[in-house]
């Protein structure tokens, strides 16, 4: 084994929500395997910031939508650390071009499904088998999987139909994996963020500034990546016990119907 620290693999972990999660888990003493599609030299500043703070970190470049890349990601984790305790399925893309339902094309649909749904589904399969393998070797761990979904699982956006569908399906994936992995003591959760300040939402800042001021959420502010990071760390630590398969909503109260 190459690491005595617990290890967390975070897809899309070098920016946005994924980086917020990485910071919280690093503060809890985790070694980090950060995945992203950018070349390693493009995220070197992020990696250096963790290393300067004393966190062991490795970058696992790859597209979770591709089978060969998913396998390479897990093999990189195995090579660098020799263990895997936590998988955070965070990587995702929005609908290319945000096309209306009447104009959307299959190419974009297939790409969104590959990254947002198929990728996490089969990466979880690979990660879970690795975790089970470690258990069979009497390796002490408290493994878990966290799927980062979105309020778009329940809130309709007709110019992002493919995105909404993948996030709704993530809820069922969470239930499926929680059920299948329960016998191995692998906890599975879903985080459903609201409107979070990130590169994905940077193009609609003015729109949501206005909507928050008009009462979009009970808490009149953007969610921050750090908000999601703190919540994920709480689940990973087991501070909310007896709750595998559950969904944690982090939307500032957006889901509460009001008259």
Q: H or E segment at 172?
A: helix 161-181
* 8 A C-beta contact, residue 37 and residue 110: no
C-alpha pair distances (Å), 217 with each of 2, 89, 187, 213, 214:
45, 26, 30, 9, 9
Q: How many residues appear in the chain?
A: 259
- The upper half-sphere exposure of residue 145, i.e. CA atoms within 13 Å in the direction of its Cβ, equals 32
How many Å from the N-terminal Cα to the C-terminal Cα in the chain? 57
d(CA 109, CA 146): 24
Closest among 17, 21, 11, 12 to 236, alpha carbons compared = 21
Residues assigned a catalytic role = 163
């Amino acid at each position: 084994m190459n690491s005595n620290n617990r290890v967390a693999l975070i897809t899309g972990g070098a920016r946005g929500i994924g980086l917020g999660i990485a910071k919280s888990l690093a503060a809890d003493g985790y070694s980090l395997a950060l995945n992203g599609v950018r070349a390693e030299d493009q995220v070197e500043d992020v990696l250096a910031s963790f290393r300067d703070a004393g966190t062991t970190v490795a970058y696992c470049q790859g597209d979770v939508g591709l089978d060969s890349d998913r396998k390479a990601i897990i093999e990189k984790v195995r090579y660098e650390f020799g263990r895997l305790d936590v998988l955070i399925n965070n990587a995702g893309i929005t609908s290319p071009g945000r096309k209306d339902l009447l104009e959307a094309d299959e190419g974009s649909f297939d790409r969104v499904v590959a990254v947002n749904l198929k990728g996490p589904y089969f990466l979880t399969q690979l990660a879970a088998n690795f975790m089970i393998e470690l258990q069979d070797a009497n390796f002490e761990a408290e493994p878990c999987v966290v799927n980062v979904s979105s309020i778009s699982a329940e809130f309709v956006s007709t110019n992002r139909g493919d995105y909404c569908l993948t996030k709704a399906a993530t809820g069922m994936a969470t239930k499926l994996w929680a059920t299948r992995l329960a016998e191995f003591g692998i906890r599975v959760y879903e985080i459903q963020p609201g409107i979070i300040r990130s590169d994905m939402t940077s193009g609609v800042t003015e729109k949501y500034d206005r909507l928050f001021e008009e009462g979009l959420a009970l808490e009149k502010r953007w969610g921050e990546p750090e908000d999601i990071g703190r919540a994920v760390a709480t689940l990973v630590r087991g501070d909310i016990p007896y709750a595998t398969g559950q969904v944690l909503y982090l939307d500032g109260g957006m889901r509460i119907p009001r008259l």
